[in-house]
Structure 1
């Protein structure tokens, strides 16, 4: 690759990262605004938590649905346009909702659009078979999810709690250049009739399954630690939620940014060693964060998990599609990202269950 090509790939990666990062902010952005939302909507804090739960469900549903429908005849351009409409409509519902039920519905619509924007970013980044551009997108997505906690708090303080619930609207700032990039897509969308056998062929591809399974495992560990690691740090230090949240977020963000070094050395490692490194890194991160008696070690574990997750999301997306025909890449990346999103939902639930079990014992 020429120097100009590398610079162009970096610019493309940063553009697509700017598309994906606000979508990820929607996951964590409302966290600190939930008490205010509960008071304003006259509901309990537990009920207000549905504003976050609905986003996770919307992302999990929107990922395969929009990839399969909007992308079928209109390619990535269709995915981006459909996602933009859903994000905008969902945000309007959230901003105008007089009650919790409508606000939750708006969040689910917004999440479906945010998930599709994330998929579109990885589809466009997938043209770079070195993994560098997908790596930048993964880092941007991870950084957005980590920074969302503080961006959401700042926006809520300046504009009210509803502002923290519509952070995915920031993705639309990148809309015009992304649409130009999508319009220049060299491969034509698959216009042939879809059959269950063809789509299930993706799930019979051993390399796709291996990459998706590893992504599911790494993602589950990472989002379990996003729940559990700050609790352990608080227990070990006695810090309050603000101090704990700030330090834990810095650790995770540092790990996400350092994952670029993993992306850079990945071609020299080879596929087998890369997958082994990702699996081992995630396992070590889990052991450190759960068993280490020192707060610094817990934070190192959390940061290591963020590193392998951000790096793995970009690098494994390429591994998941490398042996599939080009016409199946869009659906394959959608299914791959669905595996990641299952980890987003499963991680905190498993961590919460484990915490309750340990306390019960």
Structure 2
């Protein structure tokens, strides 16, 4: 979901396998979408309105947005193994708070804490993957992260039906299954975070005003913010519309929504391949137009299949946009500022993750 800038590669630093790193990253993405169909039950159990319960999703997006730059910086200084340790501890602490919280504010706080830790696991996965010069490992991690996000609706509905609504809020704990193996694969305690770091030098912080002024960055980041906001609003609202239109239960609705989103994400590869022949302007028009069509279908179509088509279209343009807009976000900037530009671009995506569900809940509340 989020690609972090990598630490300098050391010859002494091994790379954990791609599937293992994908397992580390995917549950973070599942944490974004997992609670979607469990929110009504959460609202009843916590004695709050559905709009208030939507904070359980919004808080996760905010936590990811805050945690990603913080733990990216920490990983650059101390190495990704340390980021994994800190991230795992925060995920576990947040999940415990979510499971024990007697009211909404404490549950929201647990979700936010969990999200900061999940951001750390996601960041570390991509930092480890960046050591692979072939690009194969980063690709596997990206696919795993996308799969986690698109299947999260179904996974959350399924576990909530069996274990209760709180289980849908703690899906990021699945990433802890990979922590021990990742740390062993990285040679933790032997070379990577010891001698391998001796050659690093601290860098002075610098405000990214030059990046924010760059027209290419503003256009790419602004479009990504719009795409992400629409996508996560649909991710929140579309399953509820499908359930209303069909009468399906949470598990069936979650399965249909997950399949539609996953199909859209897979089809985004077609857009990425076609982009060079289309040109920058046409690609941007396709992305913006696709998001607008997706929002119209998901929000107003009277047939469940059309709502699901809107979800698929939104997933397609959002996944395609992440791949196609990352380069333009840093284009024209000095080499040393491109990492900052990509980090801020990813932050724009995460702001959309936080704003989308809240926007959808506001529209749904207004409509009723």
Fold match, TM over 0.5? yes
TM-superposed CA distance for 1:75, in Å, is: 4.8
TM-superposed CA distance for 1:312, in Å, is: 1.9
Distance 1:349 1:94, change over 3 A: closer
Q: Could you tell me the TM-score, scaled by structure 2's length?
A: 0.75
1:84 aligns with 2:93: no
Q: Could you tell me the TM-score, scaled by structure 1's length?
A: 0.76
Q: 1:109 aligns with which of 105, 110, 113?
A: 113
The answer for the alignment partner of 2:221 in structure 1 is 212
TM-superposed CA distance for 1:240, in Å, is: 3.8
TM-superposed CA distance for 1:219, in Å, is: 0.9
Paired residue total: 343
Question: Once the two structures are superposed, what CA deviation does each residue of 1:157-177 show, in whole Å capped at 9, x if it has no partner?
Answer: 444444332211222333344
The answer for the alignment partner of 1:7 in structure 2 is none
Contact 2:63 2:113 in 1 (8 A): yes
Contact 2:24 2:178 in 1 (8 A): yes
Superposition pairs of residues 69-148 of structure 1, within 5 angstroms: 70-97=74-101, 100-122=104-126, 137-148=141-152
Aligned-partner Cα distance in 2 for 1:89–1:280? 42
Q: 2:343 aligns with which of 310, 334, 340?
A: 334
Contact 2:90 2:117 in 1 (8 A): yes
Contact 1:138 1:310 in 2 (8 A): no
The answer for the alignment partner of 2:288 in structure 1 is 279
Q: What stretches of structure 1 of length at least 5 have no aligned partner?
A: 1-10
Contact 1:285 1:305 in 2 (8 A): yes
TM-superposed CA distance for 1:26, in Å, is: 1.2
TM-superposed CA distance for 1:303, in Å, is: 0.4
Q: What stretches of structure 2 of length at least 5 have no aligned partner?
A: 1-15
1:165 aligns with 2:173: no
TM-superposed CA distance for 1:114, in Å, is: 1.3
Higher normalized helix content (fraction of residues): 1
Contact 2:261 2:312 in 1 (8 A): yes
Superposition pairs of residues 4-43 of structure 1, within 5 angstroms: 14-34=19-39, 43=47
Aligned-partner Cα distance in 2 for 1:129–1:221? 34
Contact 2:33 2:236 in 1 (8 A): no
Question: Once the two structures are superposed, what CA deviation does each residue of 1:318-344 show, in whole Å capped at 9, x if it has no partner?
Answer: 443354455545543332222112212
User: SS at the partner of 2:186?
Assistant: helix
Q: 1:297 aligns with which of 285, 289, 306?
A: 306
Root-mean-square deviation (CA, aligned residues, Å) is 3.8
Q: 2:297 aligns with which of 273, 285, 288?
A: 288
Contact 1:13 1:125 in 2 (8 A): yes
